[in-house]
Amino acid sequence: MSLEGDLTMHAAIPLYKGYTGLDAIGPYTVLAFAPDWEVTFVAAEPGPVTDDQGGLSIEATASYADVPRPDVIVVPGGIGTIEALSDQALVSWIGEVHEHTRWTASVCAGSFLLGAAGLLKGRRATSHWALIDQLPGMGAEPVHERVVVDGKIVTAAGVSAGIDMALALLAQAADQDTAEAVQLVIEYDPEPPFDAGSPRTASADLRARAASLLG
């Protein structure tokens, strides 16, 4: 939490079993490089939390109770999101800290956890392309954009879009020069080898094959 006279922005990234690694690590890397930012991984209790591929664990250094008033939260998505929707400790924490955040953000299916906390009613929001059409069930208006800002709710599309979202937040919290400096530090200058990163450019067969990888 930012204290009076303390310029540090505190971001918290909640972890739950089955999150997608890049959903958490992308925004973490952007914000952790920024001057005067502190980023904390939180979970129901401190300790390692395993991602949706089973090969990556990130150490949560604090519990939800330890971080009641972060300035920013970034909620990752992942295959485990469906189960996490019924995790009352996580969903309640999201709703409670939202009362005090400067921004409440999500990546990919993390937007559904914002919805479970009651934060998307009447809001414009985005999510992973395979799930975005289900957002009206959370009361949201789905928007097919990479980053969507509606008040202090900021949602990012699938996985890699979390980097874009974090850079956009950094520009708002500090300035564009700072965000651009961090972008250069991480050499975020995408030149994908294939034009297949969006359902708008992928064939129907490719979309089906990609959807099968989601389980």
Sorted by where each begins, the domain ranges of the chain are: 9-189
Task: Give the H/E segment covering residue 141.
Answer: strand 141-142
Share of the chain above pLDDT 70, in %: 97
Query: pLDDT of 32-42, one tens digit each?
Result: 999 999 999 99
- Summarize the confidence of residues 155-159 as an average pLDDT: 97
Tokens of 190: 């995408």
Q: Which of 108, 114, 116, 131 is catalytic?
A: 108
- Summarize the confidence of residues 155-163 as an average pLDDT: 98
pLDDT given at position 3: 31
Q: Is 88 annotated as catalytic?
A: no
Paired residues of 57 in beta bridges: 50
Q: Is the domain covering 9-189 a CATH 2.60.120.200 domain? A: no
How far CA 149 is from CA of 126, 130, 155, 190, in Å, comes to 9, 20, 7, 22
- State how far the Cα of 102 lies from the Cα of 51, in Å rounded to an integer: 27
